[in-house]
Amino acid sequence: MLNLAEILTIIIGLLLALVFVDGIRRSIKNRKNKLKVDLVPSEKLEKEEFDESEDISGQLVDENEFLSDVTESIEDIPILKGHNLIIFNLCSKDLETFSCSSLSKSLSSYSFLFEDKGFFTFRDNTEKILFSLINAKKPGNFLEDITSSDIALVLDPGKSPKVVESFDLMFSVAQSLSENFSCSLLDENRNLLTKQMVEHMRNESQEFQRQRLANAS
């Protein structure tokens, strides 16, 4: 006949066996759940991700799309014929941040013109365009009380009379707008602007100016 110690040993052994079996059961169940997740068709996921990114990017004005959309109506904007453009983007979380009136108020300390075709230009004392400010979302202008969350400042080195001075002024305007509207200042690829990128862009403007002077001589 079993004594008390032997009975306790058998009971403890049974309990340990039950815990072990339950652990195996849980492990198998978790593995099945993971397999179910992995079995979701990759094509479906890729399609969903593509559709989502398409919806987001489709709201913005691509430079090439902008060219084809407004060439006939805005023939004199620098972005139309420029091949080497210097661009600052500003992006706000508020969909209605930027408008003709809000930008005009914020730019009051600068010399600018709001063109009849719905974009801003900054000119020198001879009325030559230094750079332009456009709505970075379709239709690309601020006519008829249009508002936007994205704008772009565009400098065409091939047309600006003083490229480096134009760049410095454009960067000053971009910084001012970024602070006034509490929005993100981005580079031409819509990445957050860094000091290194600003230096690189300014070096580019200096090279453009150097080449212009070399060609003129």
pLDDT tens sequence for the chain (217 residues): 656 666 767 777 676 766 666 767 676 666 554 444 343 343 343 334 333 333 333 356 554 444 444 333 334 444 444 458 999 999 999 989 999 999 999 999 999 999 999 999 999 999 999 999 999 998 999 999 999 999 999 999 988 889 999 999 999 999 999 999 999 999 999 999 999 999 999 999 999 999 888 887 7
- Token pair, residue 40, equals 């979701």
pTM for the model: 0.65
- What residues contact 2, with CB distance under 8 A and at least 6 apart? 10
pLDDT at position 10: 75
Distance from C-alpha of 95 to C-alpha of 41, rounded to nearest angstrom? 35
**Domain spans, the chain:** 57-216
- How far is it, in rounded angstroms, from Cα 79 to Cα 64? 10
The pLDDT of residue 159 is: 87
- Cα dihedral 24, 25, 27, 28 in deg (nearest 10): 110
Give the pLDDT of residue 76.
Answer: 44
Contacts of 65 (CB under 8 A, 6+ apart): 138
Predicted pLDDT at 12: 77
CATH of domain 57-216: 3.30.1400.10
Order of all β-strands in the sheet with 120-123: 113-114, 120-123, 129-135, 150-155, 86-91, 184-186
